[in-house]
Amino acid sequence: MLALGNLLEMTLAGHEPASKIQLTPEGTRLRWLAEGALEVTPAAGRDNGMDLLLSAGIHGNETAPIELLDRLLCSIARNELQPRARLLLLFGNPGAMRRGERFVEQDINRLFNGRHELSSGAEAMRACELEHLAASFFADTERTRLHYDMHTAIRASRIEQFALYPWAEGRRHSRRECARLQAAGIDAVLLQSQPSTTFSAYTYAGLGAEAFTLELGKARPFGHNELVNLDRLELRLHAIIEGREPAVDEAAIERLQLFSFAREVIKHSDAFVLHLPVDVENFTELEPGYLLAEDLANSRWVVEEQGARIIFPNPKVHNGQRAGILLVPAADSLLE
């Protein structure tokens, strides 16, 4: 296998390759850009005009999508997968990946859309570097731009594989892209309605790409992801990369659960209390009137919405950060 096909191994070892550019026998070019960052350019005459950014490891302990990215790159390096799309493959937080931890000092996925400028440290610098890498990759606005930022969740979920679709002023969420996700094994899409500081929000709002945060099961250590079935996503990615993706059936949207964001629960102080079981699952339904959380100064979050569900409940976040999100069902009329 070509040395650059071992990007994961190099990243975990903290090594920089001696040769930054290599070619497969078929003529695909692999180019090492920075730690955990590799650009793949199709062989001459094969480029179909798509720029596909695939990122994983923004949280270092979310290993199933890291392993998926590694399999894709190994297949390209062995000439088994012959791209027509141009690719940027990113392992987001190498330091946290080497430790097997979510992050080292701070959550990188809270540091995009310029938020890193208000912070310091290695992870703020890495968020800035990832923004620059993505901006350079998506510089040609005449090309099709797609970004999947792949994650796994801290806790179990009643809907195991779901996507967060960022928001941007003046843009409508795409029915076609949601149907494509359904074909890739995604069961639900959360339609965001306000700005965010995640990586996919940066590429969507700042760079004009279609972009999603994909949650693909529960976080487990390397080599222990046999319960995370990414077969449908992997097959779809192979098809997108090789330019042989079947026509997207927009009627598939009927098989996709859609949700919109109702409210965020913000932790303001150390007095914050989240009134949920420690092992509560994502997408757990909450009845109207349920006291969800309390904080200082009589701050209370009481469920008012019909059909409300909770995702990402985490009372251990830093003060000022989101400790959970309330969702409500959404109609597909929100898609265009």
215 is catalytic: yes
Q: How far is 8 from 246, CA to CA, in rounded Å?
A: 30
**Residue 62 labeled ligand binder:** yes
Q: Can you say whether the dihedral through the CA atoms of 105, 108, 113, 114 is positive or negative?
A: positive
Q: How far is 29 from 76, CA to CA, in rounded Å?
A: 10
Residues 306, 320 contacting (CB under 8 angstroms): no
Please provide the DSSP assignment of 66-111 as one string. Answer: HHHHHHHHHHHHTTSS--SSEEEEEES-HHHHHHTSS-SSS-GGGS
**Residue 151 labeled ligand binder:** yes
Q: Can you say whether the dihedral through the CA atoms of 135, 28, 63, 236 is positive or negative?
A: positive
From the list 215, 226, 245, 305, the catalytic residue is 215
**What does the DSSP 8-state code read for residue 115?**
G
Catalytic residue IDs: 215
Binding site membership for Zn(2+): which residues?
59, 62, 151
Residues placed in the known binding site: 59, 62, 151
